[in-house]
Structure 1
Amino acid sequence: MARLEMRRRYTLNIFQSIEYAEEQTQLQLSNFFTFMMDHYAQMNEQHPGPDLISDILSNSIEGQKKLLDYETIEVPDSYDGPRLSFPLSVSDTNILLHAFKQEKILHARYVLQLFHEIKKFLKQMPNVVHLTTSYSKQITVCGDLHGKLEDLLLIFYKNGLPSPENTYLFNGDFVDRGKNSTEILIILFAFLLVYPNNLHMNRGNHEDPIMNLRYGFTKEVMLKYKIHAKKILCLLEDIYSLLPLATIIDSKVLILHGGISDTTDLDFLTSIERSKYKSSLKPPRPDSERNILIHKGSGGQQDDVRNGAIVDIRLLDSSLHLPDMTAELTVNEQKEWKQVVDIMWSDPKNQNGCLPNSFRGGGCYFGPDITKKLLDRYNLKMLIRSHECKQEGYELSHNGKVITIFSASNYYDEGSNRGAYLKLCPDLIPRFVQYQVSKCTRKLTLNQRMSAVEDSALRALQEQLFAHRSDLIKAFKEYDPDDTGKISISDWASSMEAVLHLDLPWRTLRSRLARLVSDGWVEYLSCFEDLHIEKSIKAVQPSLVETLYRYKADLEIVFNIIDKDHSGLISIDEFRQTWKLFTSHLHISIDDATIDDLAHSIDSNKDGSIDFNEFLEAFQVVHKFERKDSNRR
């Protein structure tokens, strides 16, 4: 049982470390997406007009007018999905639940009308909502759902639907990763309109258009709603910015998505104009011609944001020869932005103090002393937050004063974790309910389930090794001046952490990642033996293959936006220009001839277009060998 528990812990640690590294990459690259929003159309003379990210996420007055035209969208007789009538009633929520269980899709006309009504409703809400248990007698708090509709339906089945006797608070991160983010938003928004006093929603760090570009929700909306998708996404950007930032129950329990910092000020938080923050990844701009972009902080040049995670506000690299962008935030704007970022991105830690959350790249790590200081200042009893997957669906820290609640079961893979929600009655003693959506795992033994999840985590980790292969080999060779191909276990572990920054128990994982030779040293090239690119691309240097694999998630975002008609095709010229912008931003030195060779190699039928799905497949890492003990699963 001890060995099994150790495997459970390091498996979750692997998944979590890779997830947070991706989030840090997203924060570092958010300035590139901002740059694409504002400047790609200007630089691409062959495709004038705001036809890329800015076209999807633009919030212009003209776009706003179009959003009100949902009444002109006809619902054909052939449509067999749910039909809504406004104002919504309980029967409409039942219709939606029944339809989504049958995997029906709500027509865009109803989606736009629902979202428009929600936008009007949320404008009336305060930044910090105050609730009481004296009316409904209990309040159920749910954490991250991340597009997992089965978990939401299971919560409603076990705990009952929202009603005047059954109040819910959903604590952010409704979307991304899972395949049913749209349905979750529709259900929650519908109940919010029907029971405005009994369903409440806090904003999470994934209620953010830039996060949605990377983690799947934008793509989900585009695939499900096609010609109406841009209107829906534009409206959602406003809705995100209007969601409340925090909730306080009985003046004693503070609930927010991420956490706090040593500068969190609840009084100040109630006064900011939250609608300015369309994305927490970048500060609001004074006007459309000015821009501030985010880079990973290095320790902080500005004292007032030093202990937050986004600690360095700079202009985009001048080597790109862009127009002058000299906007600066006022001291008050910096303080506002930091408040928003910290409550959505921060995580608790066991050590006292407040430090930048370098692991995620956003928010901060806050210790028990920071928690105590805030609770004492506002006469609060506890802090409830979400934001982190926990093996059992919940976790208590800071002497029970901080509770993490996470409601998406099987978050990383089937069997990886339970989900949970908590119930607060007037005594304010949290009562936890755990669950796990089960499909194939219920037929497996405990050890088989653990082996399956462990294998999935190790595969993901091995792919990280491949993506950083050149850097890892360089680090290994520093300990191997005689080029023996062998280094000590200690040097191998140090090299792995120095390159990947994943904070994993490398010595424990060594037996699953690299081979020992007879003298007890690590044969370091064995780390890569199980991995190879599925299809060979001619005339492409190996380092470019590795680079493309490392950044393929970011390239997919950009290319999906360029591919306006969702045909799966982009032109050779679009590929060339986008890749040149991307490599300039990342300071990767690749000459034009190499890019052209790559583009023409991928364009196998020579029709002048690239099927980007084939591009992704061309750089798909596969595992050559199955585990010898796979038959035991």
Structure 2
Amino acid sequence: MTEEAGESQAIELKEKANAKFKEQRYEEAVQLYSEAIEAEPSAILYGNRSFAYLKLECSGYALRDATEAILLDRKYVKGYYRRAQAYMSLGKFKFALRDFEAVTNACPNDQDAKKRYLECKKIVQRIAFENAIRVDDVKKSVADALDLDSMSIDDDYDGPCLDEKGITAEFMEQLIDKLSKCGKLHRKYAYQILLEAKAIFEKCPTLVDIEVPDGQKFTICGDIHGQFYDLLNIFKLNGMPSESNPYLFNGDFVDRGSFSVECILVLFGFKLLYPNHFYMSRGNHESHTMNRMYGFDGEVRSKYTEHMAQLFTEVFCCIPLAHVINKKIFVTHGGLFSEDDVTLEDIRNTDRFREPPENGIMCDLLWSDPMSMRGRSPSKRGVGVQFGPDVTEKFLQKNNLEYVVRSHEVKLQGYEVVHGGKCITVFSAPNYCDQMGNKGAFINITGGDLTPKYTVYEAVPHPNIRPMAYASSLVNI
């Protein structure tokens, strides 16, 4: 192909890719941008593909493409812009600040770029301040400063109340009704739920064993991401949680969706009501870095207090990382490991009472994804690893398991089965962020059978508050 023909083909493919991007069909856009790059690589094409990868939450690939764009054209400002956003998505704020500074230097009159630079600088400074004042005694808890007895209930409060009986089924019915009508639980009771949830999670092992009796239904749900009204729809379709209708929610309860507070209070409430029949796995978004960027931290501060946001961080660090059902089904939010020979005992012995590290067993459990190729490859997210069918098979054989259930990824039909049926993804947030057009799903199994059965559903309406309403503008470029 001549140089002129390659350039012409690249332009045509770019235009098609741009159209797919505008239609929010990001995977198709990535494919077309890739074909255009193969025909005639350019900084613009790499920059555009970087943006599409960001939309697909593939921050690692987005970072790679933005860097390639900059290498091809050091003056390509959007390359720095895209790379800054990729760094922000990964919580690498100092690197993001460097790129935002490059944008402001190149475009000194760009007020939007200046605003983002200053916001990023503020985050870096705040992190430095937090590190400077951090108390050496890591056992000191935010909860220690709480005095629930001193919190009075306003005379005009008409929501559900907690008394000496604690959480009851009646309280949960009243809570769901109040929250579904855009009401708010009094902060005293919200704090009480958090403190009791922290206490119960602290007693849980890192890897929880679940026994489902023969003939009993058990439900596994994937990411909820603050989509409260879709969460209520799950209960409508599948029945309210109870001792005879147990659930496992597999991480990413919060962030992005703007009803994350409502989601987490209801989920924690059911955990307290049915501690041996309602289970929760930690996701990668149950972390301070993610919450700071993707909305939960801002939502809690808006609806309650900064102090409560700090307490949520503590509670999240107590949530178990994985479950095994009937000694045969391994359930975790992200996936498998960057090294062979990891055992269930290794997971049980993993210290989870912390923010997620950037490597190791805990990181992989929260961040990894399956791929079709054998072996392993660097993560498309920039954290964790991508693992092939042989990795899944080795892990299952070594630990005498039948299959893996994980979440963490949007799937068009709400679920996906790969690796010869040995690795299942379930994602329970339909029309993710009000733009992906995907369905949601949950899995039912029955004790004594364990064959997964899938229920797929569409999104339901919600009040007119857009997703990411509380998120940092730095991830909304």
Q: TM-score, normalised by structure 1?
A: 0.55
Amino acid at match of 1:75: I
Gaps of 5+ in 1: 43-48, 284-309, 311-336, 441-552, 558-619, 622-633
Quick one: which of 277, 286, 297 aligns to 1:198? 277
AA aligned opposite 2:404? L
Aligned to 1:269: 347
Question: Which residue pairs with 1:432 in the alignment?
Answer: 454
Q: CA deviation at 1:383?
A: 0.3
Amino acid at match of 1:175: V
| Percent of aligned positions that are identical | 35
In 2, Cα distance between the equivalents of 1:59 and 1:99? 37
* Structure 1: distance between partners of 2:263 and 2:229: 10
CA deviations over 1:476-496 (Å, ceiling 9, x no partner):
xxxxxxxxxxxxxxxxxxxxx
State whether structure 2 residue 106 is matched by structure 1 residue 85.
no
Alignment of 1:383 with 2:404, yes or no, is: yes
Deviations 1:515-568 (A, max 9, x none): xxxxxxxxxxxxxxxxxxxxxxxxxxxxxxxxxxxxxx86769xxxxxxxxxxx
Distance 2:232 2:296 in 1: 19
**1:26 partnered with 2:89:** yes
Q: How many Å apart are 1:150 and its aligned residue?
A: 1.0
Deviation at 1:28, TM superposition (A): 5.1
Partner of 1:140: helix, strand, or coil? strand
Q: Measure the CA separation in 1 of the matches of 2:345 and 2:130.
A: 42
Contact 2:333–2:407 (Cα < 8 Å) also in 1: yes
In 2, Cα distance between equivalents of 1:202 and 1:13: 32
Cα displacement (A) at 1:230: 2.2
CA offsets 1:414-470 (integer angstroms, 9 cap, x no match): 561100001011211100001112449xxxxxxxxxxxxxxxxxxxxxxxxxxxxxx
**C-alpha contact (below 8 Å) 2:226/2:261 kept by paired residues:** yes
Partner of 2:426: 405
For residues 76 and 432 of structure 1, what CA distance do their matches in structure 2 show?
A: 45
Structure 1 counterpart of 2:366: 344
For 1:349 and 1:439, the matched residues in 2 are separated by 33
Identify if the C-alpha distance between structure 1 residues 186 and 353 changes in structure 2 by more than 3 Å, giving closer, same or farther. Answer: same
Q: Which residue of 2 aligns with 1:584?
A: none
Q: Distance in 2 between matches of 1:162 and 1:107?
A: 23
Match of 1:235 in 2: 311
1:154–1:420 Cα change, 3 Å: same
Q: Distance in 2 between matches of 1:23 and 1:429?
A: 39
Are the equivalent residues in 1 in contact too, given 2:229–2:460 (CA < 8 A)? no
Q: In the alignment, is the contact (CA less than 8 A) between 1:253 and 1:381 conserved in 2?
A: yes
Q: What is the distance in 2 between the residues matched to 1:347 and 1:24?
A: 20
Shift of 1:232: 1.2
Tell me, in whole angstroms, the C-alpha distance in 2 between the residues paired with 1:62 and 1:189.
19
* TM-aligned CA deviation for residue 231 of structure 1: 2.0
User: What does 1:176-215 correspond to in 2, within 5 Å?
Assistant: 176-215=255-294
Alpha carbons of 1:101 and 1:365: their partners in 2 closer, same or farther (altered >3 Å)? same
CA distance in 2: counterparts of 1:239 and 1:41, whole angstroms: 19
Question: Equivalents in 2 of 1:415, 1:65: separation in Å?
Answer: 42
Show the 5 A alignment for 1:471-486.
Answer: none
Aligned to 2:236: 157
Which consecutive residues of structure 2, in runs of 5 or more, have no partner in the other structure? 1-15, 30-51, 60-84, 96-119, 463-470
CA distance in 2, matches of 1:63, 1:218: 15
TM-score (norm 2): 0.72
Task: Specify whether residues 41 and 120 from structure 1 end up closer, same or farther in structure 2 by C-alpha distance, changes over 3 A only.
Answer: closer
Specify the code of the residue in structure 2 equivalent to 1:404.
T
The answer on whether the counterparts of 2:91 and 2:290 sit within 8 Å (CA) in structure 1 is no
Distance 1:350 1:40 in 2: 44
Determine the C-alpha separation between the residues in 2 that align with 1:62 and 1:89: 27
Residue in 1 aligned with 2:332? 256
Write the distance in 2 (CA, Å) between the matches of 1:66 and 1:270: 31
SS in structure 2 at match of 1:432: strand
Instruction: Give, in whole Å, the separation in 2 of the partners of 1:111 and 1:267.
Output: 35
Deviation at 1:16, TM superposition (A): 5.9
1:183-238 deviation digits (Å, cap 9, x = unpaired): 1111011111111111000000000011001000011011111xxx2221221112
Cα displacement string for residues 564-606 of structure 1 (whole angstroms, at most 9, x for unaligned residues): xxxxxxxxxxxxxxxxxxxxxxxxxxxxxxxxxxxxxxxxxxx
Q: Matches of 2:436 and 2:240 in 1, distance apart?
A: 26
1:39 aligns with 2:128: yes
- Alpha-carbon distance in 2 for matches of 1:9, 1:215: 20
1:394/1:258 CA distance change after superposition, 3 Å:
same
Asked if residue 94 in structure 1 is aligned to residue 173 in structure 2, the reply is yes
1:345-364 per-position Cα deviation (integer Å, ceiling 9, x unaligned)? 0000000011221x211100
Contact kept in structure 1, 2:24 and 2:436, CA below 8 Å: no
- Equivalent residue letter for 1:27: L
Structure (1 or 2) with the larger CA radius of gyration: 1
- Preserved CA contact (<8 Å) 2:230 2:460: no
Find the aligned partners of 1:431 and 1:41 in 2 and give their Cα distance.
Answer: 47
Q: What CA distance in whole angstroms lies between the structure 2 residues aligned with 1:249 and 1:555?
A: 40
3-state SS of 2:235 partner: helix
Residue 571 of structure 1 aligns with which residue?
Answer: none
TM-superposed deviation, 1:31: 6.0
Question: Would you say 1:140 and 2:214 are equivalent positions?
Answer: no
Shift of residue 26 of structure 1?
2.5
Q: Distance in 1 between matches of 2:126 and 2:28?
A: 35
After superposition, where does 1:249-328 map in structure 2 within 5 Å?
249-263=325-339, 264-275=342-353, 277=354, 279-280=355-356, 283=357, 310=358
Change (3 A) 1:362 1:93: same
Residues of 2 paired with 1:157 and 1:554: CA distance?
33
Partner of 2:224, secondary structure, is: coil
Compared with structure 1, are the counterparts of its residues 101 and 41 closer, same or farther at alpha carbon in structure 2 (3 Å cutoff)? closer
